[in-house]
Structure 1
Amino acid sequence: GVTSNIGSINPDLYKNPLIPEEDTSNYPEGHLGRFWFSINYDLEQEKLLINLIRIHNLPSRDKDSTTACDPLVRVALLPGERRYHQSSIQRKTCNPVFNEVFGFCVSHKELQEQTVKFTVIDNGRLRKRQTIGHLLCSLKNISIEDGKQQIITQDISKDPSVVGSPGEMHLSLCYHPSADRFTVTVLQARNIRAPNTATPDSYVRLTLFNQTRAVKTKRTGIIRRSADPCYNESFHFRLEAANVDTTNIVLAIHQPDNKDRILGRLVLGSFMFARGRGMAHWNDMFARPREHVQLWHPLPDLN
C-alpha cells in the first residue's frame, strides 16, 4: 500500500534536538495547543518522514484538573486523506511528548502537491474520543532537502480551513472507446470556502471544450448548506478518438445565491490544456479504458 511504517529506518536518527521550554504565559485565551513536529525526506527511499515531537497547553476536559486529557494524533496526507498513521495515546497530560516517527511513500515529483494534516484527539472517558483540533502544513511552502530535518511549530486550530486547508474535488472518469464517449462522475468536494458563509450552497458546472470552443455544458443539482457537498452525479460526453488531444473539460463549483460566484475550478485535459493531476487523471482514463478511475483534485483558492 501507499502507507508505510518506518521499517528499516532507525528512528533515533530522526529524533529532535532538545527544544527549550516555553513561557506558558504567552498562550492566548481559548488556545487549543502548540504543536512541535519535524519533516524530513529520504530521497533514496522516496519516503516522507514526520516526527511528532510534542504538544503544549492542550485543553483539559475537566476544569478542575490540569491533566484531564488523553491525547493522540492522527497524521494524514492530503489530498484524499487515504494515507494516515496514528500515534500512541499519552495518558493524563495536557503537555504530551510523543517522539514518534511515521513514514509515507511519496515520489519526489509529487512532494510539493502534498499537505500534511494533523488531527489531535482526546481519547476521553469510557473511550469516547473527541477531536480537539487540527493543523495543516502544506509542503509547497517548505524547502525540503534530502536528509535535512526541519522542526516546525504551529498552533492547533478548531477549523482546519482557518489554517489554509485546500479545497478538493473527488472525480471519477471512465472512457468508452467503442461508444466514442467518456463519463465524468462528480462524487464530492471538501473544504469549499465562500467569503460570506461557512456552509455555502453549491453546484458544479461542467463545460466541454474543443480547443477554445465550448461544445457542451452540464451541471449538477444544488447541494444546500455544506462545505463538504456530496453531488454523486454522472455525465456523459461524446469524444471521438481524433479529438482526444484537442479536448478539455472545465469543472467549476458555483455558489448560486451569490451572483453565481465561482468557489473552485479545475481543468482536465491533455498537456495542451491541463497540468499536474488534471493532466494525469485525463491520461489515466485513456490508459485504462472502461475502468472508473477516481482521483482527488486540489482546488486553487479563488477567494
Structure 2
Amino acid sequence: AEFLRDDESEEKKLETQRDVLAHRGSLSVRSWYPVGSLLTGLYSGTPLNEVVPPPPGMATRLCFSVEYQHSSEQLVVSLLRLSNLLPRFHSNKTLVELRLLPDDRRPRQAKARATGPDPEFNDRLIFQVSAVCVFQCTLSVCVLSVEKDGKRHAVGRVLLPLDGELSQAGRVLWKDLDPEEETQLGDVQVSLSYSSSLQRLSVVALRARGLHKPSTSAGVCVQVSLQIHTQAVKTKRSCLVRAEQDPSFNYRMTFKLRPQCLDDACLRFELQQPNDSRKGETRSTATKPILGVLVLGPFMYARGLQLQHWMDMINKAQEPVKMWHGLSRPI
C-alpha cells in the first residue's frame, strides 16, 4: 500500500510539472515534446559565390549610426555595411568618403572588408566639431566603386542633415543611396592643381573618350570658364583637334584665384564643335554645338567625383590631381 501511495504521488508531481511547462510555453522539450526532422529542401539558399541581381526597383542602402559626444565635442559615425550593391560593382573594392559639410575639406575614408553585394565596414570615424556648429552641419557619405586599375565610379551618396538626427544617439539608420547621374555622352580626363602662394589654379584638359556622335566635318575643342557664383570671370579655349570619339587635347591653362574664393568658385568645361564661319558671320559669332558639360567645384556646385576632385586639389597643394568625369547634357 505504501508503494502504491508513493507511485501515485510521483505521478501527480509529473502531471503538475507538465501543466506548468505547457502553461509557460517552456522551451524545454525533453521527452514530453517530440522534435521532428527538418525538411532541408524547404530551406535551400543561394550559394555564396553566386551573384544574384537585386529585385527591380530596390535601391542600394547604407547602414550606419551617428552619435555626438558632448564631453569631447566629437561626432562619431559608425559605418556598418552596404546592402544591395549593383551587380556590376560586386567584384570591385568599395570605398566610402565622409565629409561634414559645408566647411570640412578633409574627407574620412573607409574601405570595405570584402567584395560582393553586401560589403561590410565596421569602422568608426570621428569629426571634431563644437556643440554650437554640429546641428548646423550635414553629413555627406559618398560611396565609390574602385576597379583594379584604380578607376573610380560613383555609386551614390547619402546627405544627412544632423539637426534632429542626434536626438536618438546611436540609433542604427538605413538610408537609400541617391544614385549618381549616369551619362552616355562620354568622359573627359582633367588634371587640377592649385598654389595658394601664387594664387594660381592650373587646369589641363587631357583627353576625352566615347563622345556621342561627334561631327567629322569640324574639330573638337574644350572651353573652360572660371565662375564665381553665377558670373564667369575668365574663359579660355583649347586648340581644335581632330574630331573623333577619343580625342586628345593636352592643353594647359591657368587662372588667377585667391584662396578665400575657393569655396565660391567653380570650373565649367564645355566640349564644343565650332561650326565653320559662314558668310556674314565672324568666328566669334559662329554657333558652337556643345557635346557635353562638366562642372568641378565645392559643395555649392558639385557632388560625387566632381566634388571630390576639387577637394583633393585643395588638400594636395601644388600636386596635379587627375581624374575621369562623365559629361552631362547642357542646361
TM-score, normalised to structure 1's length?
Answer: 0.50
Structure (1 or 2) with the greater strand fraction: 1
Rg (Cα) greater in structure: 2
- Structure 2 length as normaliser, TM-score? 0.46
